[in-house]
């Protein structure tokens, strides 16, 4: 079992996309190196912090409404579907990020443990598309 755990850890650290896990209260419990590259915070800085760390202030009320509903119901509208949203870099710069979200449940009881998000930076693509749309 330990071998599987080590393999899972290596996979999480090797993936090119940011992986952020949060517990039921929205506290960051897992943060891979791609999340550090995307958002600028080291794992040491991010772990134990609120997800507000990477959510622009104007999006926080809507995020927390959706998060609370997902934690209560054990399901979410956006489950597994990529969603374009904004993220906040440590420098204060706002990013365009494409994220997928999932609920993490206890295997046996099906109890909601928290959530996981996988994110990638699409800022350049979005800005290029918007510039092209303005130019036409």
**What distance in Å separates the CA atoms of residue 94 and residue 39, rounded to the nearest whole number?**
10
pLDDT-based confidence at residue 5 (cuts at 50, 70, 90):
confident
Q: What is the pLDDT of residue 112?
A: 93
> How far from 45 is each of 21, 73, 88, 104, 134, CA to CA, in Å?
14, 30, 14, 23, 39
CATH architecture, domain defined by 2-135: 2-Layer Sandwich (3.30)
Q: What is the pLDDT of residue 1?
A: 63
**What distance in Å separates the CA atoms of residue 136 and residue 131, rounded to the nearest whole number?**
9
Per-residue pLDDT tens for 22-79? 999 999 999 999 999 999 999 999 999 999 999 999 999 999 999 999 999 988 877 7
**What distance in Å separates the CA atoms of residue 104 and residue 71, rounded to the nearest whole number?**
9
Q: What is the pLDDT of residue 107?
A: 80
| Domain assignments of the chain as residue spans, ordered by start | 2-135
Element (H, E) at 9: helix 2-14
Predicted confidence (pLDDT) at residue 9 exceeds the cutoff of 90: no
């Amino acid at each position: 079992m330990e071998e599987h755990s080590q393999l899972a850890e290596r996979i999480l650290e090797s993936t090119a996309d940011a992986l952020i896990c949060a517990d039921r209260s929205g506290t960051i419990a897992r943060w891979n190196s791609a999340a550090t590259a995307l958002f600028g915070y080291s794992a040491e800085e991010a772990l134990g912090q609120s997800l507000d760390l990477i959510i622009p202030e104007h999006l926080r009320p809507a995020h927390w409404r959706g998060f609370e509903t997902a934690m209560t119901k054990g399901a979410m509208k956006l489950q597994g579907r990529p969603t374009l949203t904004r993220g906040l870099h440590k420098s204060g710069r706002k990013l365009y990020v494409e994220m997928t979200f999932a609920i993490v449940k206890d295997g046996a009881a099906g109890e909601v443990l928290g959530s996981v998000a996988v994110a990638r930076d699409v800022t350049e693509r979005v800005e290029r598309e918007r510039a092209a749309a303005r130019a036409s």
